[in-house]
Amino acid sequence: MYNTITAIATAHGVSSISIIRVSGDAALEIAHKISHLENIIPRHAHLTSLYNFNNELIDHAIMIYFAAPHSFTGEEIVEFQCHGGMIVAQEILDTITSYGVRLAEPGEFSKRAFLNGKIDLTEAEAISKLIEAKSVDAAKILAKQMKGELKTFVDESRDALLRSLAYSEVMIDYAEEDIPDDIMNSISTQLDALTEQIEQIVEASHRRRGLIEGFKVAIVGKPNVGKSSLLNALLSYDRAIVSDIAGTTRDTIEEQVRIGSHIIRLVDTAGIRESDDTIEKIGIERSLSSVKDADVIVALFDSSRPFDGEDAKILSILEAVEDKHIVVALNKSDLDRVFDITKLDAYEVLEVSAKKAFVKLTERLECLFDSIGEGEELMLISSRQIEAVNKAKISIEEAKVPLMNGELEFFSYHLQEAVKSISSISKPYDSEEILDKMFGEFCLGK
């Protein structure tokens, strides 16, 4: 029994169906004990009664047996699809553990799938991210990775590196003289192409990471322009303190809200302005850092008050940011306009009212996220993956110097490092620690 594990695989709450998974050598034996069925056919949905340890009826449910190795983990698996609600699922789980099966650790099913060669790390990570995907586009990207798109990139990159490596090994063994120019050029062209491809993937992953993690949207503007009101309007409930006193939103507040098919993370910043008040100052620093972290900045101006130095400060912040999307909105358009709108000529300004009408803003945001989601670019979905390709890129760059100088041993050393880094995306070389860390972050039952 000791190698057999179990967990409730569905969300822990009220639902119409819950799934309990058992994986390991004893899975089939458990299925017999709980269902009292004698003939259990692999990949067949058995509608059957389920009984607890004392042979009392628990539920009438679907039971499916996946024979090893044709299962998610590669082991014997039995799944029970019982009626929802935690009571039934918990009782089935208790029954399974009463027969000596142990509860799975978070991510243990996926870890077994990896160890049994059913999935590689890119696929495992895609599975784990899919659970939390923040948009339909993300789900599509992750589905492609589960089918091995990133694995293919890793394999092809490794092959390209190994080819260059093979060339140089041959040269080390046989060439007394200088390396012929054409061979050197062809190796360096290949490496440049790979570096460029890596740079593109890292750039696209950065630009599109919001699809998976949720786009970070920072709302900025001087005190009292209506940042908190807008946030509240978007959330349609009061989370931030709305007040007429300037500077009451002291801290930054983050909330998740759904716009179109995207879940976004909204940040309300304390008013960005110079201040002597230390608490306020901390707030301002946070605002600036939230701008740094954001994918999209919504800059608010107040239609009912004149353009002033604080507004100018906001504009200068907007001018300073790079590679971020900026949406400029003139708030309080329900009031008489005092604000000189020509100050915002550099932007396409949306006139909104946090109090009355802000649909223009949500539409603009939805368009923006949709356009970021378009395209077929390959994406790295975890910082682990990004670190690995960046390391590979550095090693490739380090390899090029000795290549030009004809120091082939050094060239070959750096290239081997690059191969290791690239390979680690799908299979880590210092496994145990990385695996525990990675799979430990998974949901229970995955």
By CB under 6 A, how many residues form the interface with ligand GDP? 20
Contacting ligand GDP within 320-379 (CB under 6 A): 331-332, 334-335, 353-355
Cβ 320 to Zn ion, closest distance in Å?
Answer: 22
Q: Which of 107, 271, 373, 402 binds ligand GDP (CB under 6 A)?
A: 271
416-430 core/surface letters (b: 16 or more CB in 10 A; e: else) = ebbbbbbbbbbebee
Binding segment for Zn ion among 181-189, 219-227, 299-307, 336-344 (CB under 5 A)? 219-227
Is position 225 an interface residue for ligand GDP (rule: CB under 6 A)? yes
Of 57 and 245, nearer to Zn ion (C-beta) is: 245
Annotated binding site for K(+): 224, 243, 245, 248
Is position 227 an interface residue for Zn ion (rule: CB under 5 A)? yes
Cβ 282 to ligand GDP, closest distance in Å?
Answer: 16
Beta carbons within 8 Å of 345's beta carbon, 6+ residues apart: none
Beta carbons within 8 Å of 10's beta carbon, 6+ residues apart: 17, 18, 19, 84, 89, 445
Q: Which of 228, 287, 382, 421 binds ligand GDP (CB under 6 A)?
A: 228
Annotated binding site: 21, 79, 118, 224-229, 243-249, 268-271, 446
Q: How many CB atoms lie within 10 A of CB 182?
A: 8
Cβ 104 to ligand GDP, closest distance in Å?
Answer: 46
Binding mask 235-274 for Zn ion (x = CB under 5 A): --------------x-------------------------
- Indicate the residue type of 75: E
Binding segment for ligand GDP among 53-61, 132-140, 223-231, 258-266 (CB under 6 A)? 223-231
DSSP bridge partners of 217: 266, 296
Distance of CA 21 to the CA centre of its chain: 25
8 Å CB contact between 49 and 62: no
364-397 core/surface letters (b: 16 or more CB in 10 A; e: else) = bbeebbeebbeeeebbbbbebbbebbebbbebbe
Q: Which of 74, 210, 226, 283 binds ligand GDP (CB under 6 A)?
A: 226
Q: Which of 18, 73, 110, 228 binds Zn ion (CB under 5 A)?
A: 228
| Of 230, 218, 214, 220, the residue nearest 264 (C-alpha) | 214
Note the residues at the interface with ligand GDP (CB under 6 A).
Answer: 221, 223-229, 242-244, 249, 271, 331-332, 334-335, 353-355
